């Protein structure tokens, strides 16, 4: 065997070893990988939503975002009609309410992406963990941890820095009052989307006793999202189609990748720790800024970048606090389990003695 064959064999062994390691990691700890896949699909959704607004009007972008998921959920509902009917009979208002929160949040985040760009919109949307803390505090009437005050302050600082850039534009059309107001409105909608989706998390925690499958909520969301998109396109006379097949496929990518992002996120939340998932999802902010610069030549601005750092640090901090809290709970539970085991051993020994 000559040197070139040996080199190829070594390369093959390294590649196959790496693939085996990745496969083993996915099998034993799939949560982080699934969360990363969710972040990647959301990144593609952000980029295609922004590009779709350049190809079509915003109303058709909403339509493209809604219908692929609506079709998939409709088909699955036909196969699981008994489960859907049972859930609707048990909690119709709850399913409608959570679906409505998701729908309003989705409109907010997609619109903000189209107006202020993927980077700023994603940064503002990733304040969702802070809204989750605030809503949870309102529900419990107390604060879980003093560190939450610091994390909330960091997140608010990031929002202020990101929003401050709305007033600093070189484009004369964006420097007008309508342009500034449009950007501020888009930023507020991104924050509203974060609050809405945080409300979904809290509402599902409160109503966990109903044991309603995530698929039911997802179907409610896509049903409302697609129906309202049809109404908006009709009212605004905005029905149109892309000029080429390539543009059509590109626009439809928004809905397909959005659905895949939801699926992988739900899957990651089921098999992985929620705090770990939240940490990995913050990579979406870096992806959004990098993608908008490479694909659309949107220049990087110092204030939004600094704001993104503050928001990401706050998001990661919330996740770390969650990991520490869950670890403390496990540590508190372990002595009780061991004491129960010792008590059982003592009773067994007494029985043997008798």
pLDDT digits (tens, 9 = 90+) for 234-244: 999 989 888 88
Question: What percentage of the chain has pLDDT greater than the value 70?
Answer: 77
pLDDT of residue 334: 54
Residue 264 above 90 pLDDT?
A: no
Q: Calculate mean pLDDT across residues 216-238.
A: 93
**331 vs 336: CA distance, rounded Å:** 9
Residue 187 above 80 pLDDT?
A: yes
229-238, 255-264, 287-296, 309-318: the lowest-pLDDT one = 309-318
pLDDT of residue 256: 92
Q: Calculate mean pLDDT across residues 21-33.
A: 63
pLDDT of residue 18: 66
Q: Which three-class secondary structure state does DSSP give residue 273?
A: coil
Rounded-to-5 percentages of helix, strand, coil across the chain: 90, 0, 10
Q: Which three-class secondary structure state does DSSP give residue 222?
A: helix
Tell the residue number behind the tokens 């969702």, with chain if given.
128
Largest CA-CA distance found in the chain, in angstroms, rounded: 93
Question: Which is nearest to 152 in space by CA: 333, 295, 313, 328?
Answer: 313
Residue 335 above 60 pLDDT?
A: no
pLDDT of residue 339: 47
φ/ψ of residue 217, rounded to 5: -65, -40
Band the pLDDT of 168: cuts 50, 70, 90.
Answer: low
Q: Calculate mean pLDDT across residues 24-37.
A: 70
Band the pLDDT of 108: cuts 50, 70, 90.
Answer: very high
353 alpha-carbon distance from chain centroid: 60
φ/ψ of residue 237, rounded to 5: 50, 50
Q: CB under 8 Å to 148, separation ≥6 — which residues?
A: 133, 137, 318, 321
**197 vs 106: CA distance, rounded Å:** 9
Burial environment of residue 297 by CB neighbours within 10 A (0 to 12, 13 to 18, 19 or more): exposed
Band the pLDDT of 352: cuts 50, 70, 90.
Answer: very low
**268 vs 274: CA distance, rounded Å:** 8
């Amino acid at each position: 065997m000559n040197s070139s064959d040996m080199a190829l064999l070594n390369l093959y062994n390294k590649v196959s070893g790496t693939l085996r390691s990745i496969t083993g990691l996915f099998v034993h700890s799939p949560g982080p990988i699934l969360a990363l896949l969710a972040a990647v699909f959301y990144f593609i959704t952000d980029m295609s939503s922004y590009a779709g607004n350049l190809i079509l009007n915003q109303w058709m972008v909403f339509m493209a975002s809604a219908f692929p998921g609506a079709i998939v959920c409709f088909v699955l509902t036909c196969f699981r009609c008994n489960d859907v009917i049972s859930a609707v009979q048990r909690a119709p208002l709850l399913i409608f309410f959570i679906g409505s929160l998701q729908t309003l949040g989705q409109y907010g985040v997609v619109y903000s992406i189209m107006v202020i760009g993927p980077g700023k919109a994603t940064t503002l949307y990733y304040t969702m963990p802070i809204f989750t803390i605030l809503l949870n505090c309102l529900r419990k009437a107390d604060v879980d941890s003093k560190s939450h005050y610091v994390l909330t302050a960091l997140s608010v600082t990031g929002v202020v820095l990101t929003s401050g850039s709305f007033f600093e534009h070189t484009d004369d059309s964006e420097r007008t009052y309508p342009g500034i107001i449009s950007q501020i409105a888009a930023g507020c909608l991104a924050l509203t989307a974060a609050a809405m989706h945080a409300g979904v998390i809290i509402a599902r925690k409160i109503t966990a006793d109903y044991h309603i499958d995530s698929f039911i909520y997802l179907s409610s969301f896509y049903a409302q999202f697609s129906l309202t998109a049809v109404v908006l396109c009709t009212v605004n006379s905005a029905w149109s189609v892309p000029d080429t097949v390539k543009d059509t496929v590109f626009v439809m990518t928004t809905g397909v990748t959005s659905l895949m992002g939801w699926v992988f996120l739900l899957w990651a939340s089921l098999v992985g720790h929620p705090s770990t998932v939240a940490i990995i999802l913050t990579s979406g902010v870096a992806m959004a800024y990098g993608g908008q610069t490479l694909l659309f030549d949107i220049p990087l601005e110092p204030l939004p970048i600094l704001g993104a750092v503050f928001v990401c640090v706050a998001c990661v901090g919330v996740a770390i606090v969650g990991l520490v809290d869950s670890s403390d709970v496990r540590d508190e539970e372990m002595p009780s389990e061991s004491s129960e085991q010792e008590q059982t051993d003592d009773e067994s020994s007494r029985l043997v003695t008798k």
